[in-house]
Amino acid sequence: MRRSLSLNALLGASLAFFTALIGLPFWWVVSGSIKLPQEIISRLPTMFPQSFTPQHYQKLFQASDYPVYLINSLIVATSTTLVTLVLAIPAAYAFFRLTFPARGVLYRSILLAYAFPSIVVLIPLFGLFAKVGLVDRLPSLIIVNVAFALPFSIWMLRSFLAGVPKEIEEAAVIDGASTLKILRRIMIPLIAPGIAAVGIYAFVTAWTEYVFASVLILSDAKRTLPVGFSGIIGQYQIDWGLLLAGATVAIVPVVALFALIGRGFVSGLTEGAVK
Amino acid sequence: MQQSKALAFALVAPALLFLGATLGWPLVQAIQLSLQDVRVIGSPGSFVGLDNYARILSGPAFWNATGLSIVWVVANAIVQTILALVAAIILNEKFPGVRIARSWIILTWIVPTVVVVVIWRWLFSTSGGMINPLLIQMGILERPVGFFATPWTAMATLVFINSWRWFPFIALMMLAGLTRIPDDLYEAARLDGANAWMRFCRITWPLLAPTLGVLAVIGTLLSFNVFDIIWLLTSGGPAGGSRTLPVLIYETAFKGYRLSEAATISVMTTIFLMAFAVIATRALDRTDR
Amino acid sequence: MAELVLTDLHKSFGATEVIRGVSLEASSGEFIVFVGPSGCGKSTLLRMIAGLEETTAGKISIDDRDVTKVDPAKRGIAMVFQTYALYPHMSVAENMGFGLEMSGMGKAERMAKVRQAAASLHLTDYLDRKPKQLSGGQRQRVAIGRAIVRDPKVFLFDEPLSNLDAELRVKMRLEIARLHKDLGATMVYVTHDQVEAMTLADKIVVLRDGLVEQIGRPLELYENPDNVFVAGFIGSPRMNFFPATVTGRQENHFVVDIPALRLSGVPVRARAMPEDRPETITIGIRPEHLSEAAGSGFSVRVVCQAMERLGSVSYLHASLTEETQITAELRDARDVQPGDAFELFIEPSRIFAFDAAGARL
């Protein structure tokens, strides 16, 4: 559809606003991470770096176990993604494509889990993990993150499954495919964009989680990136250069991941149905 | 058909059992804890009945936090809805680079919360932050302001930062609703002589309303449960000005070492949220029909 | 030899019974078409034969085997869906071979069968394409190919041509007819299009409200409908119906007055004379049995309301009085304008008679 000139101007202005709103903070962080300390805290901030130094990055990788945090975070986020998908796909398939008694009640109770303030289960879960010896171990974080990502993941798969025409499933039944074969050979390939979207959702949930990681993990070597990062914030003397370098390093992996499969996430969210 | 019912149960069972163990069972534990007087994790407690509930309901801390939580949720809802709706409408247009914009708008959401916190703490800070000089240059401020220094500026700043993190996600969910509105409706409206504003009011808004309803429920639950941004930026301060219910629960349990009281507040919060979720989804179901 | 036998089939969804006792026999190689208005249960009946819907009561046998409770895949049927229902993520070859793969057939054997079927459907060049890259007609052929490779005893078609444009529909109709001849297989075909029904069927089953109204060869239904419903449903434009009063009877016909047409003493043929003389009956005249050419018979004066000119024939919609409308098919497209009055001639031997309940007399 063609737009009038004034609408185009409005569109351009809004676009510029949102680009600045989202882009500028990131630009300042990334460009700030290579500025000299005096430029970072100067009274008149600079848009483009006037100085260059790798000193913040050197300090970051010498003073902290940043690579270790990074690996821990990747382990937790990847495992969370896999476990979430393994649990969510069959459950969503059963909820939205099969009929069985109490389906509605069970589905609703899963949605109610979404209404949980996560902080509520922190205390009892700590006790539970203490009992089974999971405190200060990465699996405890994976379990927690899956629990938080799972209800929304199942809900997200709904529109994808609903978009698969019933006839395709019936054709597969006539072709002699069992329910599990239909799930594996027909449904999973057809809802692949949805699976990608759910995978990214679970990954990001785990990647950004801070509270549980800070309570359940005690030793420095098991910390995830958010907790390790908060460790370098420091209470009294704030070393902004170090923080900006740390922030940049924490942003890069997700950005890289997103550059690879991000389009799937967005089109997955927005398109839903199988065309 | 009988066998397929068993199979269906087998498919949902792992997810249900997992959620039961990680969310359901802890909730039961929290209820038990709320009826005792445990102070630190692992220490024994004795049964005190509803004493905790009576004490908390009669004190000011819980009610202050409830009020702040409501302010927090409502303010976030307003800011996020406006930002997200405008962003979604833009992303639903065709312009060069729209595909890139659709993907990368989500950048704020995929970055760890702690990083978001540091970014904004720096940008809002009086030493080297960009916001103060920017506002002074635009003539809005006369001299640098400590945004986290007074209760209401702290709250407003927190709402802005949390909205900044979440609005792109909401915008994409809205975009999903927008893309389902057929183009020919807009074309028909143009032939009927409707301008852009009328098209928004008469087509976009009514057809997007169901999506917005669902998002309102999800968004409310999402922002209600936000804890890390608040805790990391203000720790509930200054002067308790941002001590929402999740912050109060955390403080009571891990700073005040009154575990049972924290569990009590948790249980009441859960009841409120679930009641809200049930009522809201009922209302949505009704408007769907 | 009976290939497909339905015995007193019933189907209920909750409290509503949508199939209320259908019995049918199809012999080997027969082409059966289910027709009826939407909601008559024709698709449900087909899906029951396929096994996609459970049968509430009754028995389905295919090739002398009771398959009422058998899995769809093990019934010896194949189905072609209205929406084609091709697997979007699989190539044409994979689509056609999926059923064979599920039955455990080896890859080489599978591919041989797929190639053979593809050749007969002119799909050989498209075997590696995805359904998305095919035209509507090609997709339909893939759907048919998927059915052929299964080598079924009975083919089931659920309105397979309704998503195609008019030209392609005629082409595919002929192709399905050719396929039926080549394969000699039993086919059951659901449609709401009576042209498809009349041209394809060996035997048409007219359904209404979950019951069989009539089963017969296409021309039999046209020339000898059992009741008002079938008479009105088969034939286009629809048959004209008028109430009539019986004034006399002879050995094989009634003498009636037709007030709506201002006619009296019209002899109307009956298949079998009832014992007692009914007082009022319904008479039916097909539009193609009315003509403007003067002939022996009765004539009525009508006023033209609208003319639909199709080229070879024209449909005249005319009125006699305020309430009485009549439709006629005219071969000689004279220049008739709305408002013109002229005379239509009726051939009495072509008039059908029905009793008060709608059954043919």
Please tell me which residue of chain C has the smallest CA distance to A176.
Answer: C73
Strands laid side by side in the C240-249 sheet: C263-269, C253-258, C240-249, C280-285, C352-354
Q: Say if the Cβ atoms of C102 and A181 lie within 8 Å.
A: yes
Buried b (16+ CB within 10 A) or exposed e, C57-93: ebebbbbeeebbeeebbebbbbbbbbbbbbbbbbbbb
pTM, two decimal places: 0.84
Residue of chain C nearest A181, judged by CA positions: C102
Residues shown for chain C: 361
Phi, psi angles (nearest 5°) of residue B38: -75, 140
CATH homologous superfamily for the domain C240-354: Nucleic acid-binding proteins (2.40.50.140)
Query: Using an 8 Å Cβ cutoff, are C285 and C350 in contact?
Result: yes
The chain A residue lying nearest C47, using CA atoms, is A170
Q: Which residues of C touch A173 (CB under 8 A)?
A: 51-52, 72-73
> Looking at the complex, does the CB of residue A247 fall below 8 Å from at least one CB of chain C?
no
What ipTM was assigned to the predicted interfaces of this complex?
Answer: 0.85
Measured between CA atoms, how close is B243 to chain A, in angstroms?
Answer: 14
**Domain ranges (residues) in chain C:** 2-226, 240-354
Tokens 């429920």, residue located: B217
Take residue C10 and report the two structure tokens written for it: 């019933």
What stretches of B59-195 show up as alpha helix (H) in DSSP? 60-91, 98-104, 107-110, 113-124, 131-137, 151-179, 183-191
Instruction: Tell me the C-alpha to C-alpha distance, in Å, between residue C24 and each of C9, C200, C214.
Output: 9, 18, 11
Q: Note whether A34 and A54 are within 8 A (CB).
A: yes
Local structure of C117: helix, strand or coil: helix
pLDDT digits (tens, 9 = 90+) for A32-80: 888 887 787 776 677 788 788 888 888 888 877 888 888 999 999 999 9
- Those of residues 230-289 in B touching chain A at CB distance below 8 A are 231-232, 245-246, 249-250, 253-254, 259, 262-263, 266-267, 269-270, 273-274, 276-278, 281
Q: Which residues 157-216 of chain A have a CB within 8 Å of chain C?
A: 165, 167-168, 170-177, 181, 185-186, 189-190
- Report all structural domains of chain B as residue ranges with CATH numbers, in order of start: 50-288 (1.10.3720.10)
Right CATH for C2-226 from 3.40.50.300, 3.30.70.100, 3.30.930.10, 3.40.50.720? 3.40.50.300
CA distance A224 to C49: 59
**DSSP state, residue B235:** T
- Residues B261/B52, Cβ–Cβ less than 8 Å: yes
Q: How far is CA A49 from CA A36, A175, B4, in A?
A: 9, 64, 64
CB contact under 8 A, A174 and C52: yes
Q: Compute how many other C-beta atoms are within 10 angstroms of the C-beta atom of residue A209.
A: 27
CA distances from C336 to A18, C304, C317, C325 (A): 68, 7, 11, 17
Cβ(A123)–Cβ(B253) under 8 Å? yes
Cβ proximity of A90 and B12 under 8 Å = yes
> What are the pLDDT tens digits along chain C (361 aa)?
568 999 999 999 988 999 999 999 999 999 999 999 988 999 999 999 999 999 999 999 999 999 999 999 999 999 999 988 999 999 999 999 999 999 999 999 999 999 999 998 999 999 999 999 998 889 999 999 999 998 899 999 999 998 888 888 999 999 999 999 998 889 999 998 888 999 999 999 999 999 999 999 999 999 999 999 999 999 888 999 999 999 988 888 889 999 888 888 888 888 888 777 788 899 999 999 888 877 767 888 888 888 888 888 889 999 887 788 899 998 876 678 888 888 888 888 889 999 888 889 8
Q: Say if CB A211 and CB B228 are below 8 A apart.
A: yes
Q: Are A25 and B111 in contact (CB under 8 A)?
A: no
Residue C125 and residue C105 in contact, taking contact as beta carbons nearer than 8 Å? no
Instruction: Indicate the pLDDT class of residue A275, thresholds 50, 70 and 90.
Output: very low
Ordered strands of the C2-13 beta sheet:
C16-27, C2-13, C57-62, C65-66
Chains near B, with 3+ CB pairs < 8 A?
A
Asked if the Cβ–Cβ distance from A168 to C85 is below 8 Å, we say yes
Cβ pair C50:A174 closer than 8 A:
yes
CB neighbour list of residue A253: distance below 8 Å, 6 or more residues apart: A70, A73, A74, A207
Q: Which residues in chain B (37-66) have CB-CB distances under 8 A to chain A?
A: 41-42
Render pLDDT for B68-125 as a digit per residue (tens, 0 to 9).
999 999 999 999 999 999 999 998 888 888 888 888 888 898 888 888 988 888 888 8
Whether residue A247 and residue B119 make contact (CB cut-off 8 A), yes or no, is yes
**How far is Cα C87 from Cα C101, in angstroms, rounded to an integer?**
14
